[in-house]
Structure 1
Amino acid sequence: MNFGISSPRFLRRIGVWKIALFSGVFFAMIALSADTVALEIKNPITSPTLQDLIVKLSEGLLKIVFILAPVFIIISGFRFLIASSTGNQAGLTMAKKLFMWTLAGTAIIVGASVIATVIVNFAKGL
C-alpha cells in the first residue's frame, strides 16, 4: 500500500484545496516581499579590463609558485638525503620524481605567466 504524499488517500484527507491555498499564500508572500528587499551584489573583481585581470592573476600565481617551489625543492633534498643514507632505491626514485616535477611545474607556471604578459602587451598595442 502506498501511504506517501502522492497517494490518493493522503490527498483526500488533506484536501487538494488546502494544498493549493497554502501554496498560493506562500508564493504570494514571497512575491510581495521581493519588492521590499534590495539585493545588490558587488563585483569582487577590481580589474576594469580582462587584460588587467590576466596580469593580476599571473602575478598572484607567480607569488604562490615562488613560495612553494623552494619548499618542495627543500623537501626533495631531504628525501634525497634520507634515501641515500638508508640505501633505499625507491626513495631515491621518489625524490628524483619530486624534484623533477617541482622544476617542471615551476617552469610551466613561469612560462605561462610570461606568455600571458606577452599576449596582454601585444593586445594593448593593437
Structure 2
Amino acid sequence: MQQRGLLGLDLQYLFFNLFLLKGILALGVTATLVVDGFDLSIGSVATSALMLSAYVMVVLEMSAFSAIVACLFMGAAVGFINGLLIVKARVPDLLATLGMMFLLIGLQRIPTEGRSISTGMKLPDGFNR
C-alpha cells in the first residue's frame, strides 16, 4: 500500500523535481558569491544547456548520454571563457557574465531560428523529426 501525505512518493518526486535543479544552480551562485563575485549568466547557461540537449536528441538523433556530455562540455567552455575574461583580461565579473548572458541568448536563436525544438518539427532540410 502506497503511503500518502508528506512521506508519500508523489510528494517526494515533486520535491526533487521542483527543487533539485534550483539547488544545483544555487550552489554555483553561492560559490561565486563566496569569492566576492556574481554570475549573471547562470540562467542563460541553464537554458542553453536545455536547448543543446534538445537539439542533440531531436535534430541530431543522438542518445541522452551524448546530450548530457555535450551540455557538460558547453557549461565548462562557458565557465572557462568567463574565467579567462575575469582573471586574465581583468573584465569586471558583472560585465563579463552579463555579456556572456546576451551572447548565449543570441547563440540559442541561430540553430533554431527562434523556434522551439520538438519531435515532429519541420526541419530546414524538409524532413520531420
The two structures have a TM-score, normalised by structure 2, of 0.26
- The alignment's TM-score, normalised by the length of structure 1, stands at 0.26
